[in-house]
Structure 1
Amino acid sequence: MAEASIMASDSLWHAIRGEAQRAAAADPVFGAALAGAILAHDDFAAALADLIGRRLGGSAAARARFTAFTSDAFREQPDLIEAASRDLQTIAIRDPAVVGLLPPLLHFKGYVALEAWRVSNRLWIRGHADAALLFQNEASNALQVSIHPAARIGSSVYLDHATGIVIGANVVIGDDVTILQNVSIGRRGELPTRSPRIGRGVFIGAGATVLGDIRVGDFARIGAASVVTSDVPDGCTAVGNPARLTNCPAQAPAA
């Protein structure tokens, strides 16, 4: 799937249902699960709301509550489901091990955690802090991904492997960012300092830590296990502990 082929949510849903129908026909045992998770729903929003409820709700009542919160959010703010559509397609674009849209939708917990965060962020902005923090807490418990509702995250974001990811309050993450497992992004120390701002197209390797009032520029790369506490210019790579800059784009000579 190429970047230019990003589909709107309606077209995405048609593609997902087609994959589900073919998978159910090929594997009748798996088909029973697909019937409830995909084929029973009328659109992508309903299927995703049900999936979030299933993954976060430890009981039937909790599942119904999370599903209802999510359904309401998608109905009242349709751009959330369009962002979810772009996030899902981004996984198929960036991950060479992924074939189709159905596997990451059903099985990639980073995707579910990110879409649950989108709902929690909406609740937070609307003043429903307790409900927003409930989403964060259950996503942390069930999925090992903790994203504060006050963070700001763009679209086409990929949380790859997605175990041990922590994103703190007021962190800003741009579009087209990829974050691997065991990454922490947040404030530095106990003082109420600003949180990191992560630019567009950034790649953050496994085990990296990004802290403090800093900016990671567009298309920068953070190496695995690096500790970044200073700005990273656009296009540079930061590696090591403490991180040092390498592979920075050559600057044009002054006129």
Structure 2
Amino acid sequence: MLFGRLRKDIQVVFERDPAAKSVLEVLLCYPGLHAIMLHRVAHFFYRHRFFLIARLISQFARAVTQIEIHPGAKISEGLFIDHGAGVVIGETAEIGNNVTIYQGVTLGGTGKEKGKRHPTIGDNVVISTGAKILGSFTVGDNSKIGAGSVVLKAVPPNSTVVGVPGKVVVRDGEKVARAGVSIDLRHDLLPDPMAEAMNSMQKNVEVLEKRVKELEATLLDRNNQEHEA
């Protein structure tokens, strides 16, 4: 079973990273893979209540990979952590199948509450560079979280979230990945709500300027008529 999981992890790297050239390179040079492998060992000890050993393993993994995964986190198959530096995954976080996480991502809590305090990530989710998902809620299947977004509430399935705080936006013409379909990694094509707001404001300003000019012309004509009279 262990070797089967490792074979699956290596396959995931080849599927989602075009830079991967060989199995040996993936085994030796991918910190995301190392972090996941070490997490499985740490999680085994954590489940058997050897908490100190579990934390020591996770701390070693953090020192080696710059990826911090609490040994209590539950991770399903197919997780791919690309580059990975600065990734933090909290104790009660749960990650579904075929999830992709880029560097600088945090799956964190919002306080000192006990129990479930970290997010649950659904299947086929892509979390882009620097995104922060904070709190005990669910990010639905097939969703994408834009780079630098701060997500503080639940995300419905098949959604794209961008911004601070994160808001669900609509992607025109973009197909959301579903189970059994290749995962959409084009997080560079997400909509920009700030740019859309600025464009809308610019259009409103142009309409107002046109209306002002029309009013000025009307007043000028009226003044000329009164002067002639």
Q: Which moved more, 1:100-109 or 1:119-128?
A: 100-109
Aligned mate of 1:203, from 121, 126, 141: 126
Matched, 1:176 2:92: no
Instruction: Give the structure with the larger helix fraction.
Output: 1
What is the aligned residue count? 172
- Superposition TM-score, scaled by structure 1 size: 0.65
Deviations 1:117-169 (A, max 9, x none): 01100111112111100011111112111101110001111010010110000
User: SS of the residue aligned with 1:245?
Assistant: strand
TM-aligned CA deviation for residue 99 of structure 1: 2.4
TM-aligned CA deviation for residue 248 of structure 1: 6.7
Matched, 1:101 2:23: yes
Point out the structure with max Rg over C-alpha: 2
Specify the code of the residue in structure 1 equivalent to 2:148: A
Matched, 1:120 2:42: yes
Specify the code of the residue in structure 2 equivalent to 1:219: N
Runs of 4+ in 1 over 4 A off after TM superposition: none
Structure 2 spans left out of the alignment, 5+ residues: 173-229
Percentage of matched positions with identical amino acids: 37
Aligned mate of 2:67, from 141, 145, 160: 145
Partners of 1:144 and 1:155 lie apart in 2 by 21
Matched, 1:129 2:129: no
Q: Any conservation in 2 of the 1:80–1:118 contact (CA below 8 Å)?
A: no
User: SS of the residue aligned with 1:238?
Assistant: strand
Q: Which moved more, 1:176-185 or 1:136-145?
A: 136-145
Partners of 1:109 and 1:233 lie apart in 2 by 31
Partners of 1:158 and 1:235 lie apart in 2 by 19
TM-aligned CA deviation for residue 215 of structure 1: 0.4
- Superposition TM-score, scaled by structure 2 size: 0.72
Aligned mate of 1:226, from 121, 145, 149: 149
Aligned mate of 2:135, from 212, 221, 228: 212
User: SS of the residue aligned with 2:78?
Assistant: coil
Structure 1 match to 2:113: 191
Structure 1 match to 2:82: 160
Partners of 1:248 and 1:197 lie apart in 2 by 23
**Which residues of 2 match residues 64-75 of structure 1 at below 5 A?**
none
User: SS of the residue aligned with 1:164?
Assistant: coil
Partners of 2:135 and 2:21 lie apart in 1 by 38
